[in-house]
Structure 1
């Protein structure tokens, strides 16, 4: 029986399904401390409990989001404390920008490691 997380990948038609699965494998291979879970009904990837990235398909658009967890962002009094997002739209029929994705994830992981020290 599939979990709701697995169902997210399997319910999308090709080429979205193949692209989503490839992105999942790519993200998980960047660092063995990255975990895969379901948040807000979509696949999320976390690094030691902090949000790192997510995958989302909306109206035939495939999106990869990079997240800076609000727990490491300095809080200014009087402002709303939220996660920072950066999203890229991917064409499931084109080659993935693998080097850019890996670089963004490693940069985010380095940021999290520095703030833990």
Structure 2
């Protein structure tokens, strides 16, 4: 088992359910992403470049799906949270029912489409 998968399975509820649901949605729709464990959280890479990461905040009670390329995202900007971050924006979920798959997949598809513009080129 990968360290990132072990991390997800060891999370308390509701974080574990949220993370598992997000993992299934991401991996079912973007088969070429690679789940890694970086900076103590699950990180998806595309062509060896950061694509998005899953960050549970137990203190504040939510899970963020955060995007490195957020400055280039145009869809559902009203749902993307920057919260004192200069580069990264995220979609935030307090419970599994908060996950709007249409919004999540649309933002993920837009982030993924940036690979055609060279954002995820291999070095």
Coarse TM-score class (shorter-chain normalised): 0.7 to 0.9
Higher-RCO chain (CA-CA 8 Å, sequence separation at least 6)? 2
**Does the 8 A contact of 2:91 with 2:104 survive in 1?**
no
Q: Which has the higher strand share?
A: 1
The number of aligned residues is 102
Unaligned runs of 5+ in 2: 71-85
Q: 1:36 to 1:20 in 2, by over 3 A?
A: same
Bigger shift: residues 99-108 or 85-94 = 85-94
- The runs of at least 4 consecutive aligned structure 1 residues that moved more than 3 Å come to none
Q: Which has the larger radius of gyration?
A: 1
Unaligned runs of 5+ in 1: 70-82
Quote the residue 1:108 is aligned against: 111
CA offsets 1:11-44 (integer angstroms, 9 cap, x no match): 2222221110010111112222111111101001
What's the TM-score, normalizing by structure 1?
A: 0.76
Provide the secondary structure at the position in 1 that maps to 2:11: coil
**Does the 8 A contact of 1:30 with 1:105 survive in 2?**
no
- Show the 5 A alignment for 1:1-117: 2-58=1-57, 59=59, 60-68=61-69, 84-115=87-118
